[in-house]
Amino acid sequence: MVTTSYQSVGTNAKAEFTLKLHRGEGMILLGMNWKSGKPPVNFVGFAIEYQPPSAKAFKPLNNRLSFPTPGGAIGPQVQSSLVAPIQKFRWVHFPSEAQTAGAFNYRVTPLFMDAEENLSQGELQQANIELGKDTYQGELNVSFTRGFVSSQAFIDHYQQDGHTISEILPDNPDNGLDFKPTHPDAVEALSWLGFESRQSILEVLDTALATPTATVKAIAYDLNLPEVLERFERLGNRLTIIVDDSGQHGSATSCESQATARLVKSAGANQVKRQHMSGLQHNKVLIVESGTYKAVVCGSTNFSWRGLYVQANNTLVILQPSAVAVFSAAFDLYWNSASGAAFKKEPATAWTDLQLPSVNAKVTFSPHSTGSAVLQPVADDIDTATSSVLFALAFLYQTTGPLPNSIQTLERSQNIFVYGMSDRDDKKIDLANADGHFVLTEPEFLGANVPAPFRSESDGGSGVRLHNKFVIVDFDKPKLARVYTGSFNFSNPADTSNGENLLIIRDPRVATAYMVEAVSLFDHYEFRKATKKASDNAKPLQLQKPPVDITIKPWWDRYWSEALRQRDRELFS
């Protein structure tokens, strides 16, 4: 086995395929490829097993798809991949023990089916990799919400026995401050949905509460989540907070206005300010300062029900005094700025090095002036990609400007692999494929017309589902790998009107973490495209048996005959 801190490769020379593991945040991407030529026709997929740290036995991953029964009927809904193999050349696994210290051991076995439909195993590959809690312990941690409220897994866990999503999440986020979940497993459900982002945000606030000398500076765009607001209140006058008052947020009855009134009582009127710059005060930031604990929280995750429990979002926690100083200074400039025009003159609008020990990271704050605008330089940098560009960008295709133009140009390139997603406000997702085409899916939840063996899902309420704002460039090139992320929507308003933060992180471990999240989300949404096609054709989704004659292509043929699938197979393995 060959390994780095974030990737691991199987080394069994006897195996007919390769295996590569990529470390994500609470998840692992497995990439497989055939070593020589094409697989035999009777190759029917991969069995995947894993062994958590300190466990004695391997556990098989399950598959929701199965082979049709001899009579052609649908097989069991969930089976072990030892009998219902994975018919893909990559897979993202979310081990329930993800934060356990130690190595996760994976073994992947090719399965073959004979004429009598008996399965046999080929030579396996094996590799292990550590996940752990933090990306860089004591320095920087990347975390994500799960973003899968509309999913079969959510149904399995929390929508059985007549229970509904309305017992877990408010039907109307505007009523969020008064909503109390009634589902018997609500605590577990919120932890599952909020995933590592929820843990990161609450852990920072709880540490601040437990540190008597800690002060907290916060900037909130959406603020309707009781578990965050109540922690803010408990901080008393140790909290200084800016709350957005743009648009509906400025209404006297909005959650943001209600939360502000409560915080004025707990922290004092001099500690609370409403603000919207020239457009929005769109930052989602926490800054904790004390003699013993310093932390910054930033990213795309709003302090709201939808931000943590419905949308796909990312959160960065930086635990370094140098970064805290940069963000704290920017907060003070926002606090003291009379307008967006005034802030544009401040030094925080320039790229500033966070001076982290292990990671090359810089940040800039909006709004920018024309001379300090970053959108065009960022697009120009993305244009220099040599291998791949992956992105998850809310609202991208509702905006114009240099970044959409750059991405569309890259997608027409024969040399750059592009996968990406952009949410829209009509419950649809734009998927960008590496063949240069944009594919608009149907609504990304599965409604009444769901192909067997799947079940109808909740739509998760109104508003966007994919709220991330990140672009990953050349993740597979350690010296070039970089990520752009933050609250920044990669639009002209984000650049020159709103209060925002944008980071560039040049680090292959961080880039790989974001890459795994991007692939996981892309697969999640692309699955909906497959279910829609199956539903339209009145066909169930099933595993494919070996073809009975030469006119039928084996399941794996498209990974060699389609340029997009071929590049996918090669890039991640």
> What integer pLDDT is reported at residue 438 of this predicted model?
47
Residue 332: CB partners within 8 Å, gap ≥ 6? none
> What integer pLDDT is reported at residue 439 of this predicted model?
47
- pTM, entire model: 0.95
> What integer pLDDT is reported at residue 76 of this predicted model?
66
Cis peptide before 367 (omega within 30 of 0): yes
> What integer pLDDT is reported at residue 219 of this predicted model?
98
Closest CA to 470 of 123, 121, 78, 143: 143
- d(C-alpha 85, C-alpha 80), whole Å: 8
> What integer pLDDT is reported at residue 525 of this predicted model?
79
DSSP string across 219-284? EESSB--HHHHHHHHHTGGGEEEEEE-SGGGGSTTSHHHHHHHHHHHHH-GGGEEEE-TTS-B---
> What integer pLDDT is reported at residue 5 of this predicted model?
83
> What integer pLDDT is reported at residue 458 of this predicted model?
73
User: Is residue 431 a contact partner of residue 522, using CB atoms and an 8 Å limit?
Assistant: yes
Tokens of 502: 């944008």
User: Is residue 130 a contact partner of residue 102, using CB atoms and an 8 Å limit?
Assistant: yes
- From first to last of its 573 residues, what are the pLDDT tens digits of the chain? 555 689 999 999 999 999 999 999 999 999 999 999 999 999 999 999 999 998 999 999 999 899 988 776 676 678 999 999 999 999 999 999 998 999 999 999 999 999 999 999 999 999 999 998 899 999 999 999 998 887 888 888 888 888 888 999 998 888 899 999 999 999 999 999 999 999 999 999 999 999 999 999 999 999 999 999 999 999 999 999 999 999 999 999 999 999 999 999 999 999 999 999 999 999 999 999 999 999 999 999 999 999 999 999 999 999 999 999 999 999 999 999 988 899 999 999 999 999 999 999 999 999 999 999 999 999 999 999 999 999 998 887 666 778 878 877 877 777 888 888 877 655 555 666 655 444 444 444 455 566 667 777 776 666 677 899 999 999 999 999 999 999 999 999 999 999 999 999 999 999 999 999 999 988 887 777 777 676 666 677 889 999 988 889 999 999 999 888 899 999 999
> What integer pLDDT is reported at residue 530 of this predicted model?
73
